[in-house]
Structure 1
Amino acid sequence: MTGKPSLHEIEAAEKKPLWQRLGWLAIIWTGSVLALFVVASLMRLFMNAAGLTTH
């Protein structure tokens, strides 16, 4: 198996309702934004702990 989706799987995915596909897009986007926020907050916390401040 090559790992590529078959034509049948692609057609089945395209038949799903638009709201369901957009919902997954929104969930994935929100998750990635939250993950970025967590990483940036941790970096800021460590930088402040090391004495690196902007004011």
Structure 2
Amino acid sequence: MAGKDYLNDVQECEKKPLWQRIGWLLVIWTASVASLAVFAMLVRLFMSAAGMKTH
């Protein structure tokens, strides 16, 4: 039964300390913001290589 497995997973996650859960949230958020920044820099690089101005 998938419902029981999911409930057990949720209960296991809730046993972890709050600081650890918030820490993972911050790590994931930081990684997503960093990857977006890298993507934006690559787009700007390709745009300037194509002769477009960024100002």
- Range of TM-score over shorter length: 0.7 to 0.9
Q: How does 1:32-43 map to 2 (within 5 A)?
A: 32-43=32-43
The answer for the alignment partner of 2:23 in structure 1 is 23
Give TM-score, length-normalised by structure 2.
0.85
State the TM-score, normalized to the length of structure 1: 0.85
Q: How many residues align?
A: 54
More helix by share: 2
Identity %: 58
Q: Which runs of 5+ in 2 are unaligned?
A: none
> Residues 29 and 17 from structure 1, CA distance in 2 versus in 1: closer, same or farther, beyond 3 angstroms?
same
| Contact persistence 2:47–2:53 (CA under 8 A) | yes
> Unaligned regions of 5+ residues in structure 1, if any?
none
